[in-house]
Amino acid sequence: MSEAIQKNKKEKKYKFFDYTLLFIIIFLVGFGLVMLYSTSSYTAAIKYGNSAYFLRKQMKAAMLGFSAMLFFSFVDYHFWMKLSFVAYVVSFALCLYVLIGGKAYNGSTRWIYIGGMSVQPSEIAKIAIIIFLAAVINKIPKKMDDWRTIVKLFAFVIPITGVIALNNLSTAIIILGITFVIIFVSSPKYLPFVMVIAIGVALSGGFLLTAGYRLERIKIWLHPEDYSKGYQILQGLYAIGSGGLFGKGLGESMQKLGYLPEAQNDMIFSIICEELGLFGAICVILLYLLLLWRFMVIATNANDLYGALIVSGILAHIAIQVILNIAVVTNTIPNTGITLPFISYGGTSVSILLAEMGLALNVAKQIKLTTSE
């Protein structure tokens, strides 16, 4: 009896909640909704006769995402360890299914219907891979200095990325990136990873230079003004350039008025630049940096390896998407469809991201605070 009381007291002492992280998340989602409305209202009014068409859908997804976040922040993350393999298999199956029975939009088949909602299985695959890899590595931490283990782990991920790559190359790249970061963090070695990067760059460079379709992409990248397919990227650049230091003011973008197609998706950052200027854009980037810094703090202080790896995976997920998205928008790398986390339009993406935030919050909650008394 007395033991139980003591235990209770001990648990109370451990209570920690990362309010900073929670605040950043809520701010980002709120800011995202404002920018999404500003960006999409004009096209939404023209196409659907309702200026809040995209906003309403995104708000629904955000609500769902917040409940998911709440749920994940309360459920002990070790619970998912047992389900990690199941999650991997199910998401793999869903990704296969989408190839056969998916719904096409913009020329790619990426959606399936679950309970009346359209869902993008590749988004689910991201969180599944993070949990799966963290669980597997947690079982074999000692073997991580062996390059064969590293190869084996990559081999696990290759099938699902392959399936996703068939119709959504960018998500496949993100999943590979997440995998790379998780393995990099858990292995004591540096050299193999540097080599992987070197080989990857060499291979993809060679690939891009030889394959015709990819070659065109490179040409568009170098001279967007000469190709009709460079229209979107060029209009995005016009938007960024015309924003100036402090932008044209919220809601004052010209480019969103039909010039920049699908502005609310991948190109939303260029509208942020146009309306809020360089100043606003840098603030947004710094906000992401703050978020990633919280993840690093949580990961390095996590209670155990499993939690640390999950948060590293989440860090990788968000960092890769932010970097690639802004790199595409600024035409730093060739165009590939990657959304800006929390801000771009995309229901599944927001819901899954918020669920991931719930996971991170739960890992943070279990950090043992030791006082130096």
Query: Phi and psi of 104, rounded to 5°?
Result: -90, 140
Q: How far is the CB of 282 from another protein (least distance, A)?
A: 6
Query: Phi and psi of 331, rounded to 5°?
Result: 60, 30
User: Hunting for tokens 């229209």 — which residue is that?
Assistant: 231
Q: Which is nearer to another protein, 52 or 301 (CB)?
A: 301
Q: Which is nearer to another protein, 96 or 262 (CB)?
A: 262
Q: How far is CA 291 from CA 294, 298, 334, in A?
A: 5, 11, 26
Whether the CB-CB separation of 287 and 341 falls below 8 Å is answered with no
Count CB-CB contacts under 10 A for residue 307. 25
Pull the structure tokens for residue 105: 């939009």
Q: Which is nearer to another protein, 94 or 131 (CB)?
A: 131
What distance in Å separates the CA atoms of residue 64 and residue 210, rounded to the nearest whole number? 44
Q: Which is nearer to another protein, 163 or 263 (CB)?
A: 263
Buried b (16+ CB within 10 A) or exposed e, 219-248: ebbeebeebeebebbbbbbbbbebbeeebb
Q: Which is nearer to another protein, 36 or 298 (CB)?
A: 298
Site residues for another protein per CB under 8 A: 43, 46, 74-76, 78-79, 81-82, 105-106, 138-139, 141, 181, 184-188, 231, 237-245, 254-255, 257-259, 261, 273, 278, 281-282, 285, 288-289, 292-293, 296, 299-300, 302, 304-306, 308, 312, 315-316, 319, 322-323, 326-327, 330, 332
Q: How far is CA 297 from the centre of its chain?
A: 19
Tell how strand 103-105 and strand 108-114 pair up: antiparallel
Q: How far is the CB of 177 from another protein (least distance, A)?
A: 11
Q: Which is nearer to another protein, 32 or 243 (CB)?
A: 243
Q: How far is the CB of 311 from another protein (least distance, A)?
A: 9
Q: How far is the CB of 232 from another protein (least distance, A)?
A: 8
Q: Which is nearer to another protein, 56 or 368 (CB)?
A: 368
- DSSP secondary structure string, 191-211? HHHHHHHHHHHHHHHHHHHHS
Q: Which is nearer to another protein, 186 or 349 (CB)?
A: 186
Q: How far is the CB of 79 from another protein (least distance, A)?
A: 5
Q: How far is the CB of 269 from another protein (least distance, A)?
A: 9
Q: How far is the CB of 159 from another protein (least distance, A)?
A: 26
Q: How far is CA 288 from CA 172, 310, 322, 340, in A?
A: 22, 18, 8, 10
Q: How far is the CB of 141 from another protein (least distance, A)?
A: 5
Largest CA-CA distance found in the chain, in angstroms, rounded: 79
Q: Which residues lie across from 114 on neighbouring strands?
A: 117
